[in-house]
Amino acid sequence: MCIQIAERYPSATLQDVYKTCFQDFFGAEHLLHDTAMAHSYLAAEITLCKNQDLTAMPSAEPTGFRHRFVRINLSEVFNGQISEEELFARFVEAAGTNNAFPGNWSEEWQRIEKIALEVHPAWTDTTLQAALQFAASTASPVRHSEAFRQAYNPHYRIINNKR
């Protein structure tokens, strides 16, 4: 998983590894406390992205290493592959309270971080590592790194991976 992230996203940082693994562990739950606001935000983001190049990220990409969820690029709405309504419904489904993987996220992150730094030593950043360890200890999500946002313009929603 770390090798694939490093190869696919050369501008990614350890923060981006944390983000995809956090998404894989928890699903979209942390994003959906108010469905009406979340739907309005999605509609606004779709409008904002309509004329942007979203091709730096794939149309669909599994999260983390268990691949429990999939990131669906908002370009799929523009391409007619999924309607805004269906994407939102599947996003809400991925935010169900029973979606979290059983276990301790902080311990899981410690194992992932160790592997990630062995695979890609350039991701070593003690300040970032301390911040991510704190985030993991409180089961807090993080945003994509600024480098990732600038390079790949990520606009997607998390849905369940129904193989």
Q: Per residue of the chain (163 residues), give pLDDT as tens.
A: 777 898 999 999 999 999 999 999 998 866 667 788 889 999 999 999 999 999 999 999 999 999 999 999 999 999 999 999 999 999 998 886 677 788 899 999 999 999 999 999 999 999 999 999 999 999 999 999 999 999 999 999 999 987 5
CB 65 within 8 A of CB 24: yes
Rounded to two decimals, what is the model's pTM?
0.93
Q: Which residues are 156's β-sheet partners?
A: 73
Residue 147 CB neighbours (<10 A): 15
Helix ranges restricted to H, 59-157: 75-78, 84-94, 105-119, 126-137, 146-152
pLDDT given at position 32: 67
Region for residue 9 given its phi and psi (left: phi exceeds 0; alpha: psi -120 to 50; beta: otherwise): beta
pLDDT given at position 30: 60
CA–CA separation, 93 and 159 (whole Å): 7
